[in-house]
Structure 1
């Protein structure tokens, strides 16, 4: 039976599709290829997948009512829902895009799952942003998450609540994954590691917020994919309702200044820092407690920031643009 992957042309989505195909799954990928960042990067990610046995791609907007219905007759029983409008800061500029993609789109995925003959499991992307300005670290799934500091965070918490409701009402097995600052090859050009690399190689200043006194639990994309597949293969069992949420992070926060220092060593370039205040919607620290996902799935991230950034830099300097 095929696995439906939304956001298949996205950063995490394309990596998940790749791994599913490598292990022999049939994959139906959907994405609207929007222009939040250069769609040519999304098409380049897709080019790595197209032509592989078992992969098909459909360009569509999951926020359109009934857009996914055509796939119900194809025997889909498992869904990995990764499509979303990303970016904390952009949510201040385009709030409606976040409601349409992240809330309405999530609802449409749930309605699709509700109408499947047999939905085995929906795995969907939440975010560490739901923890808002929590000062208790590390962040645990048991912590309060009802005080978001960005609209993006609010939409992701809304997704978790709506999913819990559908699990309660219709028995749809669901797992939400709170991703912590995912990075790596084929990543997003709006993320700090990409922006810093691009600017440093061009001799431009990099924007460093809060004097570099920010910590992020940077999580390498291959580790994230391992978590997604492990969870996908084991739907909730014995839970009422059948819904759960896990952190997926690295459990080793890195200070932004130290992060920049690693990039400087890898690029052989000294960064020109332009210090700026904390931006609206940002938080000072993220830090994932992985106790639950390690207990239930044996998940432990393996990639250090030095190794992960080296892989990104090697990729960035490669021929991916051709």
Structure 2
């Protein structure tokens, strides 16, 4: 009997050691993403299937992410910057090629989306994560009668003192440029001068302020009746049962600014294999549907996921068809910066 118990103890001890050894050998994916932009459920399913851990670090802006990496931050595998920063990072040799042998869900990506990635249409270095567009939101409880459904709505005196636009130069000036019939990424001095005059003389007088983050709460409280910005900021502050009766969201027919957030594997990634597995994993239609249901984005990037979604999106995906990606303008972005200073700090 003693021999039996000794044998049982030895087997149990060996099993414990094996389990401990196995846990210690688990690989870790170091993911660097926007705040509140990675569904917990997707991470949990990935960890289970690939017997790994995912450590998530977050940033509030691409500028913050980029500055941290350029300052020498190491250890991240997968980062999800916006398309203009992907272009910058690609030019600076900060990212490596996608392992196409692992990217078996490549065919799930909407060709309309990849065509917009003019700097990497073949997804050699980046894979789209989400397409997001800014638009216009009207508080239907505060306004009676009809109103313009283009950017001229910001000139409507009914909204004076209850309107806001984003505190972001490419956003606001981009809206002005497309409203005037110009390219959202225009660097033409005459066109930019027209856009500046439109914002300064016709739109700004109606605005309470330029606001990039707090407008959702002010919309929900009834202080703001008209907002330009990302719809999720407003929808996230209004009770879902009130969405239909409270919010009208539209993207003007002339279009507007859009952003494509993309997954990239950093050049010095410790676990590039795991990063490539995650890229492919999240684009399984049933996994991407979890992302869509969590954040209620329109299903634009991976349209096959639509069959697995269970919740309506904030707005129909076809509304975004006229939107244009904000491109990396290099040093020429200084033109926008100078105009923005004159608008923001006008007497």
Whether these two folds match at TM > 0.5 is no
More helix by share: 2
Q: What TM-score does the superposition give when structure 1 sets the normalisation length?
A: 0.29
Q: What TM-score does the superposition give when structure 2 sets the normalisation length?
A: 0.27
Q: Which of 1 and 2 has higher RCO (CA within 8 Å, sep 6+)? A: 2
Task: Find the structure with the greater CA-based Rg.
Answer: 2
